[in-house]
Amino acid sequence: MIMGSSGSGKSTMAMRLGEITGLPVVHLDRLSWNPGWIATPRDEMDKKVRAAASQPEWIIDGNYSSTRDVRLERADTVIFLDFSRYICLMRAFKRWIANYGHTRYDVGDDCPERMTLWLIKWIWGYPKRSRGRALEWLSKIEPPKQVYRLKGNKAVKQFLKQARESDVNTQI
């Protein structure tokens, strides 16, 4: 399972790991958003996440702390992308410009890319609001589950290189 702030690169990391491992990729934003950016009701979202996590193998990206424990129960690896708010904001703006008017692969159908004040505030407030709780939660994960905290592009590239060069299913 892959976690981190909006704009940290969760979906890109999931996609790349999926290509390397051949594992199916599930983007929680695809489960969460219905056409026109209508949110899936929480009980329905919980069911969708449980169904995805019950599959034999997967890579799931997204935060959604209300379903974090459900995913962890079945996960063997947790990756936390720990990037600065500046990088996450820059990536979100870059993503918005690159996908303006189009729906990205990692969100629900008919959800054209947008940049909102809410998203900007969410990314800016992530370090203070959510990062500490995520790190505390991660610190309680015990072996044999593996936890990776990747701080920056160099760490992500190194992780992906290691994944390509090893038997990912047993090494990551």
Distance, CA of 17 to CA of 15 (rounded, Å):
6
Contact status, residue 97 vs residue 166, Cβ threshold 8 Å: no
pLDDT in tens, 59-86: 999 998 889 999 999 999 999 999 999 9
Average pLDDT over residues 21-39: 95
Percent of the chain with pLDDT over 70: 97
pLDDT in tens, 40-58: 999 999 999 999 999 999 9
* Better-scored residue on pLDDT, 170 or 14: 14
Provide φ and ψ at 36, rounded to 5°: 80, 20
Provide φ and ψ at 6, rounded to 5°: -60, 135
Distance, CA of 125 to CA of 128 (rounded, Å):
6
* Better-scored residue on pLDDT, 167 or 87: 87
Residue 153 in this model has a pLDDT that exceeds 80: yes
Structure tokens at 166: 């090893």
Q: Which amino acid is at 48?
A: K
Question: Residue 126's pLDDT is what?
Answer: 96
Question: Residue 167's pLDDT is what?
Answer: 61
Q: Where is 81: in which H helix or E strand?
A: strand 77-81
pLDDT in tens, 89-148: 999 999 999 999 999 989 989 999 999 999 999 999 999 999 999 999 999 999 999 999
Contact status, residue 81 vs residue 62, Cβ threshold 8 Å: no
